[in-house]
Chains A and B, each alone.
Chain A
Amino acid sequence: MKILVCIGNVPDTTTKIRFDNEMKNLDTNGVQWVINPWDELALTRALEIKEQSGGKIEKVSVINVGKADAEPTIRKALAIGADDAFRIDAEPENAYFIAAQIAEVAKQENFDIILAGKEASDFNEAATGSMIAEFMDINSVSAVTSFDFVDGNVSLKREIDGGKETISVKTPFVAIVQKGICINPRIAAMRGIMMARSKPIKVSNPVQTQVLVEYKAFDLPQPKAACKIIDPVETDKLVDLLHGEAKVI
């Protein structure tokens, strides 16, 4: 079996979000690029499962839709332990476009399990994983918080309102994963970084897709009014304000 992990290349979570004058593009000056946090968890879990599978899982690959500037992030995934990588050489326009590209590679390469994160921390579409599954007409399980592989069988847990369901699913499938599948992402060790240098990144051109949406412009939230500070002994007053002024209780 082969696992494909989708990795987004996103601004580090501490990035101050600013745009160009037209409010069209992110101002990327000084931005640090990282593997999308959930994708890092997905990759970590995929590697754990591979190691426990007694050879049943032959390889874990990563895929990114992005231009050449995403390669350092892909190398990082290889350094963490992915066996090889795919990069579709295109601007990652939106979830629909990205998913179409990934589905194409996943089909050609016969991946059995595809992992995507619950959302990318740039555009937060929370859509790519499910879209890949529909492009391929295969199963998808969302909100996955636990992923086990025992005796060749996959068992997933997904979050539902106020609880969890244990799900069995036929391969191939896409799992859209979140916190819980593992706690801390694996960190690249020196040896991994050295080995990553010689691991292959297969670069291909994008396939044509339809354009279904158009981004107009970005906009920043209104600055918040100053916080009203209430004396620690005046908790009654806070309650009054929440009731009378803010009207939330």
Chain B
Amino acid sequence: MSIIVFSESRNGKLKKNSLEAVAYAQSIAVATSKPIVAVSVGNVDDQELALLAKYGATKIISVTNQNWLAHDSREYTKLLAEITEKENADTILFSHSNMGKAIAPRLSVRLKAGLISGVVAIPDSFAPITAKRKAYNGAAFQLVSVKSDKAILTLNPNSCEIKENPVNVNIEVYAPKSAYNAETKIESVDVVTGKVILTEANIVVSGGRGLKSGDNWAHIEELANVLNAGLACSRPVSDEGWRSHEEHVGQTGKIIAPDLYIAIGISGAIQHIGGVSGSKVIVAVDKDKDAPIFKYADYGIVGDAFDVMPRLIESFKKFKNL
């Protein structure tokens, strides 16, 4: 039996969440003595793929065929089912990303494999796999056990400690047996370049209604720039059209889990917290000392955002020698 990890990449580079997923697989591999097989679909060169071996993948199946580069959920499900059989796998890991969420549930139905989605920690036990997942928008955790022979997990960011465990790796360029027969067609792609991708950012700077208007975002943007951070906002900010919907975080927006979340002029409504409570550290700046955000924050500054932001930018610049 083996463990499969679906590795995502962009522009030839592996995503951080994919390395995390292999590190997670290692926790299962150590307990069950199963080898880790990483699957990559895309044009990722061997040197980059070899990074997966640093975290314990002993085999990499690399699908580089052009046809497969367009993501179609149904076709990718077939591909992964094929590889699961070929590698005699009983555990399949995905990131809880857009792609993971699109494929893992379909694969669960196809393979009749129990799905635990949004896992937040390494398994409590391994036979059967029992792991903790997020429920009620982060207000609770739920312990779930898989009853079927095969198990599929999608992993939240920060679900395990990333430990290196370099091994020798064998890269197999694989030509899928099943043909690519997608009935979805990508008509056009609209990519925003140069922006830090919010759901993958280590640091996120976020502004709320306390900033009064969309014209007041220069400081937020500068702060994000200094920290190489992603930009986010509360729902009223995007509803008002001050910022685009892509930046809206919270229960009805994006759910993020950066190392550091800096909330400025955000009161900390429960629906907002639902999208950011997975952050390792929360910093809040708000002029109201009783704002609920301070109940969730690790560090807080009570003060006027327009006074605090320039100072904060200077302090971070000093720290970064900028």
Contact = CB atoms under 8 A, between A and B. Distances in A.
Interface of A: 11, 13-14, 17, 19, 37-38, 95-96, 99, 118, 121-131, 133-135, 137-143, 145, 155, 158-170, 173, 176, 179-180, 183-184, 210-221, 224-225, 227-233, 235-236, 238-239, 241-243, 246, 248-249
A150 B62 CA distance: 39
B209 interface: no
B292 to A, nearest CB: 11
B185 A179 contact: no
B300 A213 contact: no
**SS class of chain B's interface: helix, strand, loop or mixed?**
mixed
B312 A235 contact: yes
Interface residues of B, number: 99
A224 B294 CA distance: 10
A217 B131 CA distance: 11
A218 B141 contact: yes
Contacts of B113: 212
**SS class of chain A's interface: helix, strand, loop or mixed?**
mixed
Contact of B73 (A14, A142, A168, A236): A142
Contacts, number: 281
Nearest to A10: B136
Given A13-B274, A162-B195, A139 B183 contact: yes
B145 A216 contact: yes
Contact of B102 (A140, A170, A233): A140
A180 to B, nearest CB: 5
Interface string B162-200: 000000000000000000000111111111110101011
B173 to A, nearest CB: 24
Given A141-B73, A243-B319, A218 B187 contact: no
Contact of A227 (B106, B133, B300): B300
B251 A13 contact: yes
Interface stretch (B30-38, B53-61, B210-218, B279-287): B279-287
Contacts of A155: 187
B73 A133 contact: yes
B299 A241 contact: yes
